[in-house]
A and B are shown apart, each in its own frame.
Chain A
Amino acid sequence: MADAVVHHADHGHHTSTGLSNNKLGMWLFLGSECLLFGGLISTYMIYRGRVGEGPRPGNVFDIPFTSVSSFVLLMSSLTMVLAVAAAQKRDDRGTTLWLTVTGLLGATFVGGQVYEFTAMYNEGLGFTTSLFGSAFYTLTGFHGVHVTVGIIMLLSLVAIIKRSKVPGDKAEVVELVGLYWHFVDVVWIIIFTLVYLIPT
């Protein structure tokens, strides 16, 4: 939804709710995303015990490793908040700095996910091994794609700010990317709890 992010339709004109069009649009989009992840999580919860001949969840999860990468992702929410705060103070250097750090933390998380997927594949859990495998890779894969899109948005924003090409209100654009980023984080907390921490 990068399109909605950097879109400015109202030039800060008066709106009926007082909330800008972009921000309201982003909130609605995230509301819709809740149902997307709701469907994927439900599918996983139904199928997590159906392992067939393949490995069981408990055998392939490396909970300490995933806890660390989850922590990294959570910390990226903190740096995102710092980026928004800097943007609201019109501090371009601080904004780009914290946006970059957020992107790097996100990239660390995605890197960890790639490592994790590789390790699980080597332990015998492929995408088509079992219903558990398909549901697991689909759910976490969708989340990984969301994080990746977020990283691209963050880094593009850094580039655009540096070249002073942000159309519209810069602080608001940063805040919109922030909303998306926090949402992706929150979803991960739910996924981590349901997928990794609750034993089958």
Chain B
Amino acid sequence: MAIIERPAPAGAPALPAPATPTRTYGALRRPVATTGWKSWVFTVDHKKLGIMYGVVAMFFFIVGGIEAVLIRLQLAAPDGKVLSADVYNQMFTMHATTMVFLFVMPMAAAFANYFVPLQIGARDVAFPRINAFGFWTLVGGGIIVNLSWFLGGAADGGWFMYAPNSGPVFSPSNGVDFWALGLQITGIASLTGAVNLIVTVLNMRAPGMSLMRMPVFTWLQLVVQFLLLFAIPVITVALFLLSFQRSFGATFFDVSAGADPLLWQHLFWIFGHPEVYILVLPSFGIISEVLPVFSKKPLFGYPFVVFSGAAIGFVGWGVWAHHMFASGLGPVSVAVFSIATMAIAVPTGVKIVNWTMTLWGGKLNFTAAMHFAIGLVVLFTIGGLSGVTHAVAPSDTQQTDTYYIVAHFHYVLFGGAIFGLFAGFYYWWPKMFGKQLNERLGKANFWLMVIGMNLTFGPMHMIGLQGQPRRMYVWTEARAGEGFFNLAFWNRVASIGSLILTFGVLLFLINVWKTARSKQVAPLDPWDARTLEWMTTSPPKEHNFDAVPTVHHLDEFFHRKYAQDPVTHEIKQVATAEDIVRDQEANADKHIHMPSPSYWPIILAGGLPVIALGIIYAIPVAIVGAAIVVLAIFGWSLEPSTAPDTDFDPPASGDGTKELAPLG
């Protein structure tokens, strides 16, 4: 990576590597590789980190998906023999944990990392090294959570890990220890990411990019990062208490010792309810970009979408106890949380209306991304409506712990969060990789997923209301019932649905593979997009923009391409994306200082899993891990984020010529 870059003409070869640093900070010289694995492992570039987040999240999506299919195979027939009761418990616990913490959150982080700086016209995030640290921390946490599969059994108390299931009596293996410590580590990743992205959005916007000119994706990511900032410490406390109970003999959740089992439930859901908005709001943001572009209209009621997002962010803190209606909170609490839960449906409904009105009267272009975006609107509405039935406490008491709940949250999380992420893949792929995913495969991918998902989760409404409890590893023929509501039939449908879903995801992977092999280059602006991230090359240069744009409008890129004829009032194209990018290259900023790669983030992040393993197996190992962390913090602190010119030999000269100069 060049430390100081001169803008290169389009198509020019990559800049040669800079010379070796002459000064060392702490113990290590800076990494300088610009190609090969080192250029990825030690990078602090938000785009590379975004792609790495995406790859890791996709890996865990496949892991979580395999776990889901095994669950459905077990339940496809009465008295299933595929999994034992014990392994089944581990399977559903790890399926949820993996999908929530290791797929949807990191995938949303992937898009946030890649696109938030681009959408606000910044060259990187505020703290690039902390960004790299967050990614490697996530990897470490994911490994710790999953390592338990190979070391005596995974966590088996359900993803919300209620007491007493989380205690040593019902969970004697180390699974829950790995789970608690692993999530503690991924929590550090989320927290540092939240601080980083909030500062980035608030502080690093391009000139003229006021808050109300920010793209909706960036806005909703800002809301999500605030939710993370305040929700993560609460789960941190809960996980610490759980670890202290399991490792050091405390009795925080042990009823026999006089503890209050509701303490865990409250702490978990004070985190857990904001968490569901953390999962779904990024996808809301993605389709708020996709729908206007493929409707050829601005987003209907931009301020309403933004403020209803913020409203969800606030009200989301006051509804957690609706997860606990069956725990005997008392009528006043139940009434309050019931009403608050119905209230939060309002800002969500506002968004649905805005998206629908964006489509209304638009010139609709049914691309794969548009398919997924419309799929989200429809499926999330179904999930939202069943959600309102949970808000009604007496009805919820009937539904608690049945498959009806499972149906609800898969409609909002699969139909909502995951469909939004897929819309993002198809929409932004050409920007990230310079190649378009195949549209025909993409649509097949969509239809398989939409059919598979409805066949899998639709019947769960019925089998849930019929009374089949969730988390039971078998169901019996004798109690399956008859006629239309026969459990055996609908369980089989759900299992077949999950296989169709699997083929849908497989088609996506095939699409990625085919696109990677294809040589066809995507046009600069394939969708006639509206926002700043499209106002640069695809994939963007390391410094994102040759000249940082000055923003005059919401949908700045659209306004640069189109203008209204003063006489006829017709909207006419006045420039192409190519013109705009060429113009930027011609007026490129002279000196662009980019943050330099560093060894410290990965070393610091590497210390954390060592501490976790030490706490579980041998305290001396934890001390070694802590020593790594402390030394890495010192090394990090002494190393400037951006290497000064004098760090390189020969020293970079300070003149402002614009020719392509290999600098270092």
Considering the complex, which residues of chain A in the window 1-45 have a beta carbon less than 8 Å from any beta carbon of chain B?
2-11, 15-17, 19, 21, 24-25, 28-29, 31-36, 38-40, 43
A25 touches B199 (CB 8 A): yes
**Is there a chain B Cβ closer than 8 Å to A113's Cβ?**
no
Q: Provide the bound-state CA to CA distance between A5 and B642, in Å.
A: 15
**Quick one: CB contact mask for B501-531 with A, threshold 8 Å, 1 for yes?**
0000000000000000000000000000000
CB<8 Å pairs between A and B, sample of 30 = A3-B604, A3-B633, A3-B637, A4-B195, A5-B637, A7-B129, A7-B130, A15-B203, A16-B209, A21-B126, A24-B198, A24-B199, A25-B126, A25-B127, A25-B199, A28-B195, A32-B195, A33-B233, A34-B233, A35-B233, A35-B234, A39-B233, A46-B263, A47-B259, A127-B249, A131-B251, A131-B252, A134-B251, A160-B637, A167-B640
Residues of A within 8 A of B233 (CB): 32-36, 38-39
**Is there a chain B Cβ closer than 8 Å to A168's Cβ?**
yes
Residues of A within 8 A of B249 (CB): 127-128
Given A131-B251, A134-B251: A24 touches B203 (CB 8 Å cut-off): yes
Interface of B is mostly: helix
Residues of B within 8 A of A135 (CB): 252
Taking beta carbons and an 8 Å cutoff, which residues of A are in contact with B?
2-11, 15-17, 19, 21, 24-25, 28-29, 31-36, 38-40, 43, 46-47, 50, 52, 127-128, 130-131, 134-135, 138, 156, 160, 165, 167-168
A-B contact count (CB 8 A): 137
Taking beta carbons and an 8 Å cutoff, which residues of B are in contact with A?
126-130, 133, 191, 194-196, 198-199, 202-205, 209, 229-234, 236-238, 240-241, 244, 248-252, 257-260, 263, 267, 593, 595, 604, 633-634, 636-642
Residues of A within 8 A of B634 (CB): 156
Q: Provide the bound-state CA to CA distance between A167 and B234, in Å.
A: 33
Residues of B within 8 A of A4 (CB): 127, 130, 195
Residues of A within 8 A of B639 (CB): 167
Q: Provide the bound-state CA to CA distance between A16 and B210, in Å.
A: 9
Residues of A within 8 A of B240 (CB): 138
Residues of B within 8 A of A34 (CB): 233
Give min CB distance, B594 to chain A, whole Å. 11
Q: Provide the bound-state CA to CA distance between A131 and B267, in Å.
A: 17
Residues of A within 8 A of B127 (CB): 4, 7, 9, 21, 25
A8 contact from B203, B260, B638, B641, Cβ within 8 A:
B641
Chain A residue with minimal CB distance to B237? Answer: A39
B130 touches A160 (CB 8 A): no
Give min CB distance, B207 to chain A, whole Å. 9
A35 touches B130 (CB 8 A): no
Residues of A within 8 A of B252 (CB): 43, 47, 131, 134-135
A17 touches B640 (CB 8 A): no
